[in-house]
Chains A and B, each alone.
Chain A
């Protein structure tokens, strides 16, 4: 290996081929400190530049369809409905909704995918069923279901002696901010009211404050009275029935 001064070395690197990469590193080690730094920078910039055409070539070999001027990182278009890359929308179970999104954002791709999906020999039966259910049931079954489910439950649990805990769960169905509610209750009752995550996310208040909490929720947080339930001594009752 011939030792060269910094200046001439630079020139060599500029004209050097990719194949020289390995020998370059060896040469660098033999240089003096100053040259090492300089050369290392050069090598670094070179490898960055070199690696691009290299990986491009590699990519082209494997994927003929991809365009050659692609650089890393590849920007991927993800579907906003199903989070998959848009070309995989045809396989997802939200295809009906995806189509709406694709029609807006990538109309060309949508046609391509629709063709692919229709001409597919291996019909995705499982997925089709799901889609059909969603397409039919989205409006009629989706919304009313939620309304029935949404309920705010206030539970009273007995502790030792004459102590009890009031637990409130399900307030996030009504857009009630749990921490804000806890703070209000704390002030109102001058008692401990803490956020709990288990077994369900909710608020625990020390003491029995069921009816008071009910009133506050109804007045200040606009929670409809018919959706609130009281669980005391294992019996579930509507507040409106009390």
Chain B
């Protein structure tokens, strides 16, 4: 999704939201991630205005203080930026892949079932199809990427073939390299 991503090429416009819309965005984010409510003041302070940066492929960024924090695709769920996920790793259920999968994930590949079901992998059984999940690696503390579950954990364990998680945003992709948005 963000393999190549630069502000000049991919961000088409950035607009300041009116305050009622800002409230709505905050509310939606908190609805989706109720566990970050105590830290919301640290993530997007009330004083700072929220911009929405529109990109191609219907991607919208929630930008505050020139820092992107969340993004949506086709008005779907809010995804946190990886740096934010590193700070608050409890936001998303964790799906652990084995070490062999890392290099493929870091070049943008989707996560296949065997990577999650092998010895190094671990499944969060509460994950349903369409959930936003964090991709972690065996033996590592921080998330490698995040994506959308393409099938439920049960199905992953049962079927054990094909795409399990659609890779959306991963370490060292274009979005990771983007220092700020304005």
Question: What 0/1 readout, one digit per residue, does chain A (12-56) give for beta carbons within 8 Å of chain B?
Answer: 000000000000000000000000000000000001100100010
Is B140 engaged at the interface, CB distance under 8 Å to the other chain? Answer: yes
Is B158 engaged at the interface, CB distance under 8 Å to the other chain? Answer: no
Chain A min CB distance to B30 (Å):
13
Is B86 engaged at the interface, CB distance under 8 Å to the other chain? Answer: yes
Q: In the complex the two chains form, is B35's CB within 8 Å of A55's CB?
A: yes
Chain A min CB distance to B146 (Å):
14
Is A126 engaged at the interface, CB distance under 8 Å to the other chain? Answer: yes
A59–B90 alpha-carbon span in the complex (Å) = 7
Chosen A-B contacts, 7 in total, with CB atoms closer than 8 Å, are A62-B122, A83-B177, A84-B172, A88-B171, A91-B106, A121-B100, A122-B99
Chain B residues proximal to chain A, CB less than 8 Å: 35, 37-39, 42, 83, 86-90, 94, 99-100, 102-103, 106, 122, 124, 136, 139-142, 144, 171-172, 176-177
By a CB distance below 8 angstroms, the chain A residues around B38 are: 47-48, 51
Is A222 engaged at the interface, CB distance under 8 Å to the other chain? Answer: no
Q: In the complex the two chains form, is B42's CB within 8 Å of A73's CB?
A: yes
Chain B contact surface mostly? helix
Known pairs A87-B140, A88-B102, A121-B100; list 18 more (Cβ under 8 Å): A51-B35, A59-B90, A74-B88, A74-B89, A82-B172, A84-B171, A85-B141, A85-B142, A85-B171, A87-B141, A87-B142, A88-B142, A91-B103, A92-B172, A116-B139, A122-B99, A122-B103, A124-B102
A124–B104 alpha-carbon span in the complex (Å) = 10
Interface centre among B38, B42, B124, B139, by most A CB within 10 Å?
Answer: B38
Q: In the complex the two chains form, is A126's CB within 8 Å of B39's CB?
A: no
How many A residues face the partner with a CB closer than 8 A?
Answer: 30
Q: A51-B35, A62-B94 are in contact. Are A85 and B86 (CB under 8 A)?
A: yes
Q: In the complex the two chains form, is B90's CB within 8 Å of A55's CB?
A: yes
Chain A residues proximal to chain B, CB less than 8 Å: 47-48, 51, 55, 58-59, 62-63, 65-66, 72-76, 82-85, 87-88, 91-92, 116, 120-122, 124, 126-127
Q: In the complex the two chains form, is B172's CB within 8 Å of A83's CB?
A: yes
A116–B94 alpha-carbon span in the complex (Å) = 22
By a CB distance below 8 angstroms, the chain B residues around A65 are: 139, 141
Q: Closest 6 interchain pairs by CB?
A: A122-B100, A73-B87, A85-B142, A76-B86, A55-B90, A48-B38
